[in-house]
């Protein structure tokens, strides 16, 4: 079943972005609609999902309607990134927990890595490395 997740129908809510990320993390096929059309607005999403996920979305408060039109030509496939979060040798001195919380709240899964994991090749199976820092107290 192809579902349409529209920003306007979901009141431009953060919950929709979170739901899209969580669906992607579970392997759902997603498309971002980069241009407006007769049935959608720019930025909306289409998601190939079974009825279980449609029910879960509704239970989460996200409105998703069945899409009965062909996939728009300008639809862009969305890939869920495999993220590494650097936690360093001394976690007490880093801010990785802040970044872990931010990624989790956005619906992203991630793997904690340190220097040894990177040296052992952890980044070969991941797409993005997040290096915490940049705060001044």
pLDDT digits (tens, 9 = 90+) for 58-117: 998 999 999 999 999 989 999 889 999 998 766 555 678 889 998 988 888 899 999 999
Do residues 83 and 103 make contact, with C-beta atoms less than 8 angstroms apart?
Answer: yes
How does residue 43 score in pLDDT terms, banded at 50, 70 and 90?
very high
- Mean pLDDT to the nearest integer, 46-69: 91
pLDDT at position 90 = 65
What pLDDT is attached to residue 71? 93
Does the pLDDT value for residue 120 go beyond 70?
yes
* Residue with more model confidence, 22 or 44: 44
Name the DSSP letter for residue 45.
E
Q: Which residues make Cβ contacts (< 8 Å) with residue 135, sequence separation at least 6?
A: 95
Higher pLDDT, 14 or 93: 14
Confidence (pLDDT) at 133: 76
Instruction: Give yes or no for residue 47 having a pLDDT over 90.
Output: yes
Give me the CATH code for the 2-78 domain, please: 3.30.70
Query: Structural domain boundaries of the chain?
Result: 2-78, 83-130
> Could you give the CA distance from residue 107 to residue 102 in angstroms, rounded to a whole number?
9
Mean pLDDT computed over every residue of the chain: 89
pTM of the model: 0.76
């Amino acid at each position: 079943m192809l579902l349409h997740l529209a920003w306007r129908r979901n009141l431009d809510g953060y919950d929709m972005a979170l739901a899209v990320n969580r669906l992607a993390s579970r392997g759902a096929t997603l498309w971002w609609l980069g241009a407006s059309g007769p049935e959608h607005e720019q930025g909306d999403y289409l998601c190939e999902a079974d009825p279980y996920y449609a029910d879960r979305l509704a239970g989460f408060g996200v409105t998703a309607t069945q899409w009965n039109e062909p996939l728009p030509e300008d639809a862009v496939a969305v890939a869920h990134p495999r993220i590494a979060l650097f936690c360093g040798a001394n976690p007490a001195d880093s801010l990785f927990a802040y970044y872990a919380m931010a990624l989790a709240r956005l619906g992203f899964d991630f793997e904690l890595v340190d220097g040894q994991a990177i040296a052992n090749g952890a980044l070969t199976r991941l797409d993005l490395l997040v290096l915490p820092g940049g705060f001044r107290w």
